[in-house]
Structure formats: C-alpha cells, structure tokens
Structure 1
C-alpha cells in the first residue's frame, strides 16, 4: 500500500518554530503559555492555507504537553504522549468540529453538554471549531455564555477565513490573532528547502513563479510544487519557469508587457495578434488581466519613484521595458488603464465567452490613446462657457478662436473643434435688446418667452427687496429652484444684452406676486359675498358657493 503523503501534509508544522511568517503570533502565544495565562478562547483568522488549523493543533499540544513544549525533551515510552495523539487526531480530549458541515444549534449543544465533563487524560479539553463563521445565529447565541465563562478545564480555538461574518459578541470574548500572508521571499526560501528534501530539480525562477501564484498561501504553494514534481521530475525533466507557466496556464510576463506596449501605442492589430499568441499556449484571459494589473501597478510605481530595483518579480530586461512604457504616458492615463482593466475582469465573470470579452477589452484599451484627459475636458468646458457668454454680448457675431489641448499621451497634440457659430436667430435676439424697468415687467417677459420654471419661481418663491437697472435684491423660500440664480442671470443677459447682479437678501421684502394675488382674490370674494346679487343667488340656489373670481380677460 502506498502511504505517500502530499507535500502540504508531509511538511505540516509540528511546533511554533516551524511556522513561517507568523513570528509575532508565535511569541505572544508561547509567552502566555509559559506564564500560565492562556485565554478562554483563541480566534485565528487569515486567508486559506496560512496555517490556522495547524496553529490550533500546535496550541492544543503546547498547553497539554507533559514536558516543555518545543524543547528537545521527549516523553518516555512509559508516558502517554499527548502530542503524538493530537497529531494523529486520535486524542479524546481534543475535539475538532467543521462548522461548514455542522452549522446548527444542535451541534453546538452536543459540544456544550460534553464540556461539563473533565478531560480524560489531558490537562485541558480543547474544542477546535474550523470555519466558525458558518455557524447559524442561534448556534452563536448558544455558544456565548460558555465562551465567556467556560469551566477551568475547557479551552476554545476558533478558526475562520471570514472574520467579518462573526458577531461582535463572539469577537469580544476571544483573543484574536490575524495570520498574515507569507511574503514572496520567505515562500521562496521555504520552497527551496522542500525541493532539496524532495531531491527535486527546480530552478529559482520556477520557485518564484510558484511563490507568486500562491498569493501568500503555503498550502497552495506546496500543492503547485507537488504537481510540478509529479509532472516533470518523474519524467527526468528539470522544473523550469516555462514549465510552470505552461502547467498553470500563465502568460510569460515579458509577453504581457509587450501586449501593454502595443495598447499604449494604440496599435489594435498588434495587440490582438499578441493576445492570440498568448492564448495558443493555453493562458487564461482572467489570469492575463491580473498580470496586466500587476504591470500597470509597476508602471505607476516606476512613474512615481523611478526605475524598479530589488524587485524579485521583475527581471532587469522587464524593468527596462516597463521604464520605456512609463516614459510615454502620464499617471492620468495609467489610472484609466487600471480602471478599464478592472471593469474588464468584472465583464469576464458575466460573459459566456471570456475570450470574446477579452478581445473587445483590448480594442477599447487600444483606443484609450485618443481619449482626452477628463480634467482637461472639464477645464475646457468652463472656458467654452465663458466664450459663449462673451459671444452673446457680441452683436457682430464674430467667430471665436479654436482651442488646442494636450492629451494624456506625451508629445501628442489633439486639436479641439472650433466653437460653433451662434445661430442667426440667437444673434438677432441678442441684438434686439430690451429694457426692463420693474419686477412685474420681468415676470411678463418670462411669460412672453415661455420660461415657465422662471415665471413660477418669480411669482411664488421670490420676494422683491429692491429693483434697479442691472441689479435685483430678493429674498426666497425653501422651494426655490437650485438653478434659479444661474438661469435668471443667463436670460437677463440674453434679453437685455447686459450683465445683471442678483443678490440674495436677508430682508423680508415685499409679498410675492402669488401671495398678493391670493390676498386680492380673498378680499374680492369677501366683497362680492356682501352684495345683494350674491344673496339673491343663494336664495335661489341654497347649496351654491362662490369659490373663485376671474377678470374678463382671463375667461
């Protein structure tokens, strides 16, 4: 029978010294154990494969070890070794529960019932609950009291990848440790040691690719290394960088940089051709986009801090290529590339054919070269508004000078189209200026030009404080349109050919036109109801009621 273990299980850490990348956590836990200040519950959180369950077992061994845990001193043959039983998952007092498969309150009740009994042989009874965030709300509530005040012989160790899903009431009862991702340099050294122990022929660049693809997960890195050894070393082949890329479906980083250079130059055909070549080696479109994001980040870093140095993920030749691309563009264009690429990854997840979506994204990215800087567009739009206002005041109708703006690509000049000539009817309107002598004339003018919103605000939401030629002081209520001042200024400029100053005053001002009309109508109704004619109408029609009056020209 073949008892060969996979590398992730074969080289699983058995003590705190063998944990990589978690030195601060290891020191804190070991000090607590030596001082006999072990908390009621530990909470271990981090991404997959960084050692949460492994650390939980090491803690269980450390607090129950008959000797000084981690030292060279071993238990004698006559003594029962808790550590070996815990490693074999056969210890009666160390109970592991997978909360992903046992999520209900009944499962927690079983644990709590067994918690009342003393440990059979160990010093502490330890409950290890993996993926604890999967427990139901009722299960968490049932766990609260025991977690806060457990029996002296009971300890909890909770592990999770989704700490945000755990209730705050649980978090406050645990001593929390965040297991960090393993750095690429640490991962490479660790993989090199494993490769030597396994007598595997692996070059450093291949180990760098494996470490990078693992994204800080030791288990993922060991799984990829195990796959590479089985695939190539058993065929008497060395494990090279290209072999690993072919196995994982990764595009060569230099080819991704070349693809980006075509995009930056706006060469659509070359970009699509390069993408087809990358697809031929079996690369995944999503992985290509992720590599592009990494290169875009490196371009921005180069743009900000200069040439990349001491970066294990980039070779010297690739660093030179990245520097060449960064010299051709500015940070605004880099930000646009980043944004569009991120959106492209989202589209890949929702498109039935990711290859078509990837090609369409390349076409859009290639055309980014000709897009103007958004900030410059805003500034030019403000400048255009000023030119148009001046043209309204110019009765000669002279054409404005064209604008010229730079795009985000250096040494590239994009001409802005000429400001269009003002229509003849607009010029005629500007040339036939009018005089406005009163506030009522202004209201009548808005009615004449069918400016309904302005007329409504002037009559109902504005009170006149003072009216002079070129200047109006008003007060207003909360219903006034937010664009009232802007719209009224433009229309006054258009109708009179002059700039008007509109001032908001704290003075109460006159009653609004609507209020004046309403008061006049009420007084008229009151006077009519006192007339003999109205009384005769009521005698003839007792249910009649006078509700409104209108002038003859309003009928």
Structure 2
C-alpha cells in the first residue's frame, strides 16, 4: 500500500484473531499533508510558514464536514513536534511518522497534545482548566497543543475567558480550532487566529481517491459508480468513504464489484438515462408519457424530489454546455452527447424558464403533503409553459403591431403552407370562409371544433367591445388571461383559415354570454312567478319554491 494513500488512526498492529473492523473513513485518514485531498493552497501556506519559522500561535480551520479539519489539526501537531528519525529534527511539513511524538499523536496518547470536543465541554470551567494548564511547559514535546473541535459550540463566557490567553499565549502553547460554522465564532476570536478555509473536495478528485481505495481493498468498482458516490458526498471525503464502505458491503452480498446500478438503488437516486428520457418527454409536450415515466421512477422507490433535482441538474448541465464550459469527465459519454444536442436545439430563455419552473416545483414537492401528486402537477405545468410563446418575441411582435397571435406556437403551426391540391379540370376561385356573424356563433363554432375549455373561458369571461371579423376588441376591465387571447387567435385561424386579431380596450363592453344567458333565464323565471296560477300557488303554500318550469333555460 502506498504511503500517500495509507492513513491509519494508529500504527499497524500484529494480526490477532477477532480484531474489530475499521471503517474506511478511519482506515484511510490522511497521515501526511501530501495525502490531504484538494487542500494544496493551505499546505503550501503552512509549508512556507514552517520553513520561515513564522508559525502562528492559533489556527482556525473551517469547512464543511469531512474535508479534513480534525485530520489537518493532528497533522499540524505532528509537524510542530516531530523530532525526526535521529531525534534531532525540528518542525517540518513532512513529519516522519515513526518518531515517538509522531506515533503518540497518531495514537491519541501524547500527553502534550490535548483534544477537546467543544460540543461536550462548552462551559467556562472547561476553559479555566485549559488556561491553568497552559501556564506549564510541555512535558515531552516541543509545543503543548490544544485541539478544540467544533469550537463554535463554546458558550459566550467560555469564549470571553479564552480571549486573553488566546491573544498572548505562552511561547510553548499552540491552539488549533476546527469548526463547520465559522459564522458562530465571535469576531474577537477570529481576529486572534490564522484562518484556513478548507475547500470542498472536487468530485473528480474524490472519484480518483475512491478508485485508489477500492484497489487497495481488492474490490472492483465501475467508474460511474465511483462518480455517483463522489457526487453524493458533496465534497466530503469522509461521507464518500462511508458510502463506499456501504457499497462494498452491498457488493459482497451480491458477489460482484460495486456497480452504478447498485449505488443508485442504495442511494435512492434516479437513473440518469431515465431522467434524460423524462426530460425529452417534457420538451416534446408528451404529458401522458411524462407522467408514466415519473410513476415508474416512483414505483422503483425514487423520491419525487430526487427526480426533480435530477431534472434540475440536467437543465443546469445543458445550460453550461450551451455556454461552452468544459465537459465534466465524470459524466457518461451518452449524457454529454445528449446535452450537446439539447444545447443546440434549446434557447437560453427556454432553459431559464425550465429552470425556474422546476426549481419552484422542487420546493413545492419538498413541502407538499402529497409529494408524487405535486410532482405530477409540476411536470404538467412545465409542459404547458413549454407551448407558450417566448415573452421576448411576443413583446417584439406586439411592438410591431402584429398582435399576440403572431408569435403563438399554435398560430405558427397553422401558418405553415398547406400542400398544393391535385390539379383538376376546372380551376375555380376558392370560396371565402364563412365568418361567424356574432360572437355567440363564434363560441359555438369553437365548441363544435373541439375547443371546449376555450369556449367556456370566452363565454364566462369575454366582454365584447367591438366584433368585426376578423378583429375582436374585448373589454380590459374584466381580467382575462393573455394566453386566452393567443389561444383564441390560433384556434380561429385553424377554424376559419384567416388570421384574427384580438386586443383589449379599457371600456365596459357588453355582458358576457354567460351573463346574458343568466339574465334571460332570470327574466323567464320572473315571468313565470308573475303568472296568476303561480301566484295563487305561492299564496296557498308560502314555503313553496319555484324549481322548474316549462322551457327552463340551462343557466348552469
């Protein structure tokens, strides 16, 4: 096993029966600065400081979980106290790992290197012990070192008690603080420390590290499986090694190596190919197919939020490809090819609209009482928005006076030239299409041609200011959706073969068809109530109500 990869909590011990298994996160904890992954800038700074004898008295290490904060603190402790193979060495960026101080620190038994968990030692009394003990020189090491993990958990009194000692500690004392929430550390403490921000480890470096670990463990692993684990780790080496440990155990039960399919199943991730198929269905406007694909993922045990997150990642990847960023080497070749194809076909406005819709849907599904139903509604909303005209093109068309119908997808498809008719013996001028004489006749024509929902929306919401086919002016005082205008224009173009122009005017307009129908029905009702026979019946039966009468109009 290579020295750069081998990282043990303790030196190798002779084999003995029944020895407890050490998880990979402990077994491969880095024991040299070179074994730290993705922290080259910090290592270079420490190397220069040690070489020039400019070692700070207090260090603050911050970063997300599992990037190596505590491991780095132990490495600094070894670097400052290493005496080398011959016992005469000084502080070095390359501790030997075999001298007594190095071994004792690695085993956690060095009397002058004190580790404390601030989560369980939060009070001022614990800090008083540190302050009192710091006055005395180190017993056997060059420096007495205090490593306080999760330092942000200390109480306000504990921080205040530590300030004076932290600012002017004895020359033989060094403080090493580690925290995942640096914003909770008082500014007075931050100003007294040399701060190192440990970066998230890139996914490609994690995948390389996991591949090396798998090789050392004698386990075969698919590159895609390691890439999935690296993505799931979110920059944390410890989290990734824990997932890899679980994946190896799963592979042992299956009698094979670590496969991408097994990792997806273990993590509950949506299959990348299934996500691409679902995105293709969304872009094609295939609502039944998209809902069926979502249900298949749900039946496989994939969480609906996971599906939407995967769709978000796909849209983000397509956008980056369209911008021209470097391709992710961890991506499968077929995924990169699909992203390139979509990047050429989709515009930036459409990609941004997809991102916003999916992001809003992801938040809704995460909070929904019915997650799968909320996810289905999100997909349907995306499909509907996909068919809407681009807002920029629509604004330009309105500026040119072409109206909303000029840019709607339906009118664009209807405007496509029809195939030329077959030649006949007698050529006659085609008769002009018959225009509906009234708005009510127009709504009836739309109903006949299958535009039921649109006809209902017009009958209930449209107030006519001017009806002069093929131009209609509607009242803007009654709210009416902009997409209703464009859809109506497109439907009328299909029905009549003529381009219609619909617009809004700030004028009262005539009553809607529904209001007119209700008015007629109410007039008939009042006429029936005014008849002598009905009045006589009402006087004889005061609690009676008029429910039905001959020729009653349907006012529902």
Correspondence list, 1:92-491, <5 A? 92-305=111-324, 310-375=327-392, 383=399, 402-406=403-407, 422=465
Structure 1 pair 204/169, CA: closer, same or farther in 2 (3 Å)?
Answer: same
Alpha-carbon distance in structure 2 between the residues aligned to 1:53 and 1:74 = 17
CA deviations on 1:402-456 (whole Å, 9 max, x unpaired) are: 4434369997689xx9x986479xxxxxxxxxxxxxxxxxxxxxxxxxxxxxxxx
Shift of 1:219: 0.7
User: TM-score by structure 2 length?
Assistant: 0.66
Structure 1 pair 423/168, CA: closer, same or farther in 2 (3 Å)?
Answer: farther
Shift of 1:185: 2.3
Shift of 1:279: 1.9
Alpha-carbon distance in structure 1 between the residues aligned to 2:285 and 2:396 = 25
CA deviations on 1:314-353 (whole Å, 9 max, x unpaired) are: 3232223223333443211211211222222322332233
- Aligned Cα RMSD in Å? 3.1
Question: What residue is the counterpart of 1:32 in the other structure?
Answer: 49
Structure 1 pair 265/97, CA: closer, same or farther in 2 (3 Å)?
Answer: same
Alpha-carbon distance in structure 1 between the residues aligned to 2:412 and 2:101 = 73
Structure 1 pair 345/96, CA: closer, same or farther in 2 (3 Å)?
Answer: farther
> What SS does structure 2 have at the residue aligned with 1:282?
coil
Correspondence list, 1:484-523, <5 A? none
Q: What runs of 5+ residues in structure 2 fail to find an aligned partner?
A: 1-17, 416-457, 468-505, 507-556
Question: What residue is the counterpart of 2:74 in the other structure?
Answer: 57
Shift of 1:224: 1.1
Structure 1 pair 177/5, CA: closer, same or farther in 2 (3 Å)?
Answer: same
Question: What residue is the counterpart of 1:517 in the other structure?
Answer: none
> What SS does structure 2 have at the residue aligned with 1:96?
strand
Contact 1:66 1:75 in 2 (8 A): no
Structure 1 pair 75/91, CA: closer, same or farther in 2 (3 Å)?
Answer: same
Contact 2:321 2:327 in 1 (8 A): no
Alpha-carbon distance in structure 2 between the residues aligned to 1:47 and 1:29 = 20
Paired residues in the alignment total 402
Shift of 1:2: 3.2
Structure 1 pair 404/13, CA: closer, same or farther in 2 (3 Å)?
Answer: same
Question: What residue is the counterpart of 1:21 in the other structure?
Answer: 38
Shift of 1:281: 2.3
Shift of 1:297: 0.9
Question: What residue is the counterpart of 1:527 in the other structure?
Answer: none
Contact 2:134 2:173 in 1 (8 A): yes
CA deviations on 1:24-66 (whole Å, 9 max, x unpaired) are: 2112112212322210111111111110000001001111112
> What SS does structure 2 have at the residue aligned with 1:404?
helix
Shift of 1:220: 1.3
Contact 1:330 1:409 in 2 (8 A): no
Shift of 1:132: 1.7
Q: What runs of 5+ residues in structure 1 fail to find an aligned partner?
A: 388-400, 425-490, 492-555
CA deviations on 1:337-387 (whole Å, 9 max, x unpaired) are: 112222223223322333232222222222221334344566677x59xx8
Shift of 1:107: 2.8
Contact 1:43 1:158 in 2 (8 A): yes
Contact 1:192 1:207 in 2 (8 A): yes
Contact 1:181 1:217 in 2 (8 A): yes
Question: What residue is the counterpart of 2:548 in the other structure?
Answer: none
Structure 1 pair 2/370, CA: closer, same or farther in 2 (3 Å)?
Answer: same
Contact 1:264 1:366 in 2 (8 A): yes
- Kindly indicate whether residue 12 of structure 2 is the aligned counterpart of residue 11 of structure 1: no
Alpha-carbon distance in structure 2 between the residues aligned to 1:379 and 1:216 = 45
Contact 2:365 2:375 in 1 (8 A): yes
Alpha-carbon distance in structure 1 between the residues aligned to 2:147 and 2:312 = 39
Contact 1:376 1:405 in 2 (8 A): no
Structure 1 pair 123/409, CA: closer, same or farther in 2 (3 Å)?
Answer: farther
Alpha-carbon distance in structure 2 between the residues aligned to 1:420 and 1:302 = 48
User: TM-score by structure 1 length?
Assistant: 0.66
Contact 1:329 1:410 in 2 (8 A): no
Contact 2:96 2:102 in 1 (8 A): no
Shift of 1:156: 1.0
Structure 1 pair 4/342, CA: closer, same or farther in 2 (3 Å)?
Answer: same
Task: Report which stretch shifted further, 67-76 or 240-249.
Answer: 67-76
Question: What residue is the counterpart of 2:487 in the other structure?
Answer: none
> What SS does structure 1 have at the residue aligned with 2:221?
coil
CA deviations on 1:124-180 (whole Å, 9 max, x unpaired) are: 111111112222333322222222111111111111112222222222211111111
